Structure 1
Amino acid sequence: MLKFTVADLAKYKHTPMHVQETLDVKADLLARDPEILDATPMQLDAYLSADDGDFLLSATIKGELTVPSTRSLTPVKLPLDFTFSEIYVTDDAAREKYQDGELVITLEDDELDLGAAVLDHIVLSIPMKILTPEEEQGANMPKGEDWEVVSEDDFAATKAKENEKNSPFAGLQGLFDDNDSDQKD
């Protein structure tokens, strides 16, 4: 796909290498993640530059995935438009130059596989919660025979009512109300 050798990348010390490609990654994504139902061709706009033996990548990916709703499994079109950055080093000792939290990857075989990085970040960009527009708008939750999905708020309210009803002091409710007119003076 998009593989570059360290020798090729070292030429871009003063001016970054600009990569603009339309990538057909559908087959690779479907093989990698069975939750992905479909993928449009992805637009890649990336800059790679050499800096003191290390290589810096800044890339933007645009496209669309079709994935199942996490509530009903109905297919949902998920637009993608995100940027990611990575730092590539040729040996592990160079990692110490960078701060915690920066994505630093050691190159193996003196080759940078930009295609693999794109696939990784596409899969990582899929949110944990995916809903259809109707599911986002409405309060209708799926249900079946002897089961139903409820929101956390509804569950907490139901649980509080059950706890109150099953309380050993439930029979004493109302005994000491302040509304009693006989005790006012």
Structure 2
Amino acid sequence: MKWSIQELRQIASQPMMINESVDMKEEMKAVIPELIDMSPVQVEGMVLYEEHTVLTQLRLALKMTMPSTRSLEPVELDVQLPVSERFIEDGWNSDIVDEDHVTQLFMDSFTIDLKESIRDHILLNMPLQILTEAEIAADEFPEGNDWRVVSESDFEAEREVEEVVNPEFAKLQDLFKDSESSDEA
């Protein structure tokens, strides 16, 4: 999945259609050490050379097995990603106006390596929180000796309870106000 600009110029009259399966498990394990397993990435789409630019419009499909962020139990993720990029040759500017979802990138070499683009898009779209179905359904958080994880809403509720002042202590605060005012005089 690597082509030189020269190769792409030769077929510039029509888009090059792609329907390939790419094994990237080892490359991804080098970047994501906690990756348990990964299927080959199914890549479908097209590559088009036009006016010193290369347009790629792809759909990536893969399955990844990652540890749960709570329990470290294996979780299989079904990943479907659209990828739309326009690579602009070094030293050229492009007047081509793309839709908002097309990323424009300047090339630093005379080759297009879609494996780099695939890797980057998988990394950019990794979820921050990975949970098993049981963890999602139970909505329980881990806890241990003198610590526990709470949701943001539970944390805010506990904080509001702490802010409620005991009326007995409020009377004592008034007592200190009198002594502070006499110290200032």
The TM-score by the shorter chain falls in which range?
A: 0.7 to 0.9
C-alpha deviation, 1:46, in angstroms: 2.4
Task: Map 1:122-161 to 2 at 5 A.
Answer: 122-161=122-161
Q: Number of aligned pairs?
A: 170
Q: Note if 1:34 corresponds to 2:24.
A: no
Give percent identity, aligned residues only.
31
Q: Which runs of 5+ in 2 are unaligned?
A: 173-185
> Alignment partner of 1:14: what SS?
coil
Partner of 2:8: 9
How far the C-alpha of 1:73 sits from its partner, in A, is 2.2
The 5 Å alignment of 1:106-185 reads: 106-165=106-165, 168-169=169-170
Does structure 1 residue 44 correspond to structure 2 residue 43?
Answer: yes
Contact 1:60 1:82 in 2 (8 A): yes
Deviation digits for residues 1-35 of structure 1 (CA, Å, limit 9, x no counterpart)? x1100011113333210111111111111011113
CA contact (8 A) 2:90 2:109 kept: no
- Name the TM-score, length of structure 1 as normaliser: 0.82
- Report the Cα distance in structure 2 between the residues aligned to 1:156 and 1:117, rounded to whole angstroms: 41
2:134 match: secondary structure: helix
Query: Comparing 87-96 with 20-29, which one deviates more in the overlay?
Result: 87-96
One-letter amino acid of the structure 2 residue matched with residue 114 of structure 1: L
Quick check: 1:63 aligned with 2:65? no
For 1:80, give the aligned amino acid: V
Structure 1: stretches of 5+ with no match in the other structure: 172-185
**1:18 partnered with 2:5:** no
Give TM-score, length-normalised by structure 2.
0.82
Q: Read off the aligned partner of 2:130 and give its amino acid letter.
A: I
Distance 1:6 1:145 in 2: 60
Q: Give the equivalent residue in structure 2 for 1:75.
A: 74
Contact 2:37 2:65 in 1 (8 A): yes
CA-atom RMSD, angstroms?
A: 2.3
Does the 8 A contact of 1:13 with 1:51 survive in 2? yes
CA distance in 1: counterparts of 2:72 and 2:43, whole angstroms:
29
